[in-house]
Amino acid sequence: MSKIICSAAIRGAYQIVDKADKKLAEAIAQKGAGCKVEFPNTAYYLPIIYSMTGIPVKTLEDCVHVIGLARSMLPPLPAEKHWVPYLGHTLDAGMATLFAEEIYEACKYLIGPHPVDGIWLGAADDVIMRERGIEFVDGTAPGFAAIVGCAPDADTAVKIARELQQKNLYVFIQSDNFGVSFAEQLAEKGVQMGWDTRLVPFGKETSAAVYSLGFANRAALSFGNVPPGDFKRNLLYNKNRIFAFVLALGTKVTDEQYANAAGAINYGFPTITNIDIPEILPTGVCTYEHVVSKVPVDKIVDKCVEVRGLKISIHKLDIPVPYGPAFEGERIRKEDMQIEIGGPGVPAFEYVCTKEIDEVEDGKIQVIGPDLDEIPAGPGVSLGIMVEVSGRKMQPDFEPIFERQMHRFLGEAQGLFHMGQRDIIRHRISKEAFKAGFRIRHIGNIIHAKFHGEFGAILDKVQVTLYTKKEDVERLLKDVRAAYTERDARLKGMTDDSVSMFYSCTLCQSFAPTHICVVTPERSGLCGSVSWLDGKAGYEINPTGPNQPIERGKTVDERLGQWEGTNSFIFNGSNRSLEKVSLYSIMTDPMTSCGCFECISAMLPMTNGIMVVDRDFAEMTPCGMKFSTLAGTVGGGLQTPGFMGHSKFYLGSRKFISADGGLARVVWMPKALKEELAETLIKTAEELGLEDFLNKIADETVAQTEEEVLNYMQKVNHPALVLAPMF
């Protein structure tokens, strides 16, 4: 603990106990020692004293005893030399402060000045406690800010208040700075205050802080079933359940304010201030730092959220169209669309990346480039969705999980169709949504709100930048694709045989009800964005979410890749429509597909091999179908022997259709895909003993029909020519 802070807090505690003792003596002189004492229309007597000590303060005579207790808790005043700054001394002084202030405020109800006066509300009664206290329990209110002092000016006060309101926090206001209070600044600007707006002005004196902290104590007693006098449980309840903090504004902190801050630290409530005072950064009583100072006022709300570890939940989406799961399966036909984002040959991406806390501004949503009003209707629109997140519990392993969840988050907006992931997205916005006012920036609003709502335990801040200029998207894609590659590299060295647990992914069941991805170390999800590590991380983040563990269990057929555990999971998860799935075969019980696959493999009977086509190839393929036609044949949760949707990553896996001959069966793929995967394919082919294999795979420059593929195979002596028949 800082000696300056400890010294000031202890001095302030002495001043407050003396002031309360004097006020109590005045009250006894006027009303008599037997006079009843209470905060009007409240239970729990004086709640801080009652919850911490179990003493029911009913009369002024009872107050005398508690003042004596508070005075006994005061440590010696700090000496100039040989003083050891024990944390316990300061915390005791803080609690003594709160006991004394509660008596001081109770006496004001008896002899004045009355706490309820003008804008000042005094203690919350039991009706308010029942209505509002439950919100701290069910998460409707993530916490409260106890504001002390005043902002640099009234406009800044309004801005800070609005930021706190937007995060659904209650704002409890007390104290002043050189005679000016935060509440008075709000009143100057005509801001409506009261419990209905969550801007609650308790009192202008610093002692009114007991109404804030007493509210927290009452919540523990009322909703936490904490018995009176069990101070440890009460304080732990507040630290772990009532996410409050002190926001001190102004130019100076008084000794009395230091003493109140010390009292709040007992509860695990840290102090964050714009004032230049010593800091207490080591963790201990509070979840993170205890006192953080010199925070710019334009960043102070975000800093408060970070230091207290608040988890913000945004309940209402700021978008002009209906939102909910009912719209996730919505389709938007070409004639009904305003624009189409991405698609073959159109650069577009969705990317989530982790940043340091101070690099992210929560709620900042930017559109770099034209919005829908300036974009011509039709296809071919580029869009780069860059989501920067931060949080003390955030890990890079979680990034692709959040990224993939955007499929569901965006798909639940009426008039927004979401398909694909990573850099192969294809979205449509309907004309109806455009007319309703939906714009590109609203995509950022959805992401910000849903990330906080779904991943609040992990994330503290979310910032979204949407790039709509093609040249910007192309420029960013190089780094984004490098990040995708780095993620895929995490799996190198892991094999299916080295783990006993696989993971499911059911994100696409909204439009493919019988489909389940079984994700293994050597077979990523069809979309390419969910690896085995991602599935594991997804389950850790959300144990009831789309990524569930699948115990392999007893082997049914090792060659095909069938286990009792995977078959049972598929059977139950597919609404009992599929009895078994082979993870390593395209011919025998292949895994189903949704519609988000990066590639489709299809058998070419004449060649004794398969062709592979990716989403970006729009021309006719040797099987006589374009990608779009193949997708309709393979997708929707169908199990179609000879056809299979999969990721690009899976092509480089030693398990790729290993039951049917593996990579050696690949006889044709688009030239661009072959070039993109060249390094991976060459390495895997060498491991499998396939010499110069990449050059033996035909592409559209040498073969466009199945007959032409066969001719090329014979010319280069493709290994599939001597493999056993596929059927």
Nearest CA to 107 out of 180, 176, 177, 30 is that of 30
pLDDT at 392: 78
Mean pLDDT estimate for the chain: 89
Q: Which of 70-84, 312-326, 473-487 has the highest mean pLDDT?
A: 473-487
pLDDT at 336: 86
pLDDT at 82: 47
Tell me, what amino acid is at 677?
L
Mean pLDDT of 417-425: 83
CATH architecture for segment(s) 599-722: 3-Layer(aba) Sandwich (3.40)
Lowest mean pLDDT among 93-97, 298-302, 401-405: 401-405
What φ, ψ does residue 337 adopt, rounded to 5°? -95, 145
CA–CA dist 704, 698 (Å, integer): 9
CA–CA dist 302, 299 (Å, integer): 6
Structure tokens at 704: 């466009």
Q: Please confirm whether the linkage preceding 47 is cis (ω < 30° from 0).
A: no
**Residue 607 scores a pLDDT above 60:** yes
Choose between 230 and 78: higher pLDDT: 230
C-beta atoms surrounding 178 within 10 Å: 10
CA count, 13 A, side-chain hemisphere, 296: 3
Contact 280/1 with Cβ under 8 angstroms? yes
CA–CA dist 686, 329 (Å, integer): 43
Structure tokens at 540: 């850790």
Residues 6+ apart with CB under 8 A from 435: none
Structure tokens at 256: 């009395």
Distances (CA, A) of 152 to 177, 232, 275, 400: 10, 38, 11, 42
Helix (H) or strand (E) holding 549: strand 549-551
Mean pLDDT of 173-191: 94
Residues 6+ apart with CB under 8 A from 18: none
Mean pLDDT of 166-172: 85
What is the fold, at CATH topology level, of the domain defined by 3-308? Rossmann fold (3.40.50)
Strands 244-249 and 144-149: parallel
CA–CA dist 727, 723 (Å, integer): 11
Q: Which of 130-134, 272-276, 395-399 has the highest mean pLDDT?
A: 272-276
Helix (H) or strand (E) holding 381: strand 378-381
CA–CA dist 171, 146 (Å, integer): 6
Q: Please confirm whether the linkage preceding 113 is cis (ω < 30° from 0).
A: yes
Delimit the domains of the chain by residue range.
3-308, 325-470, 496-573, 599-722
Q: How far is CA 276 from the centre of its chain?
A: 32
Q: What is the band of 314 on the pLDDT scale with cuts at 50, 70, 90?
A: low
**Residue 699 scores a pLDDT above 90:** yes
Q: What is the band of 511 on the pLDDT scale with cuts at 50, 70, 90?
A: low
Burial string for 525-546 (b: 16+ CB within 10 Å, else e) reads bbbbbbbbbbbbbbbebbeebb
**Residue 348 scores a pLDDT above 80:** yes
**Residue 329 scores a pLDDT above 70:** no
CA–CA dist 550, 562 (Å, integer): 12
Helix (H) or strand (E) holding 378: strand 378-381
Strands 244-249 and 271-273: parallel
User: According to DSSP H, which parts of 339-398 are helical?
Assistant: none
Residues in the chain: 727
C-beta atoms surrounding 233 within 10 Å: 15
Query: What is the radius of gyration, based on Cα positions, of the chain?
Result: 32
pLDDT at 79: 66
Which one-letter DSSP state was computed for residue 720?
G
Lowest mean pLDDT among 248-252, 358-362, 422-426: 422-426
Residues 6+ apart with CB under 8 A from 172: 144, 145, 146, 147, 200, 202, 211, 212, 215
**Residue 249 scores a pLDDT above 80:** yes
Angle made by CA atoms 187, 190, 192, in degrees to the nearest 5:
80
Specify the CATH class of 496-573 in words.
alpha beta
CA count, 13 A, side-chain hemisphere, 331: 5
**Residue 703 scores a pLDDT above 90:** yes
Structure tokens at 191: 């801001």
User: According to DSSP H, which parts of 542-607 are helical?
Assistant: 564-573
pLDDT at 459: 83
Instruction: Assess if CATH 3.40.980.10 describes domain 325-470.
Output: no
Which one-letter DSSP state was computed for residue 723?
S
Mean pLDDT of 163-190: 91
Work out the percent of the chain whose per-residue pLDDT is above 70: 95
Structure tokens at 645: 């949707």
CA–CA dist 60, 20 (Å, integer): 12
**Lookup result for tokens 């990716």:** 614
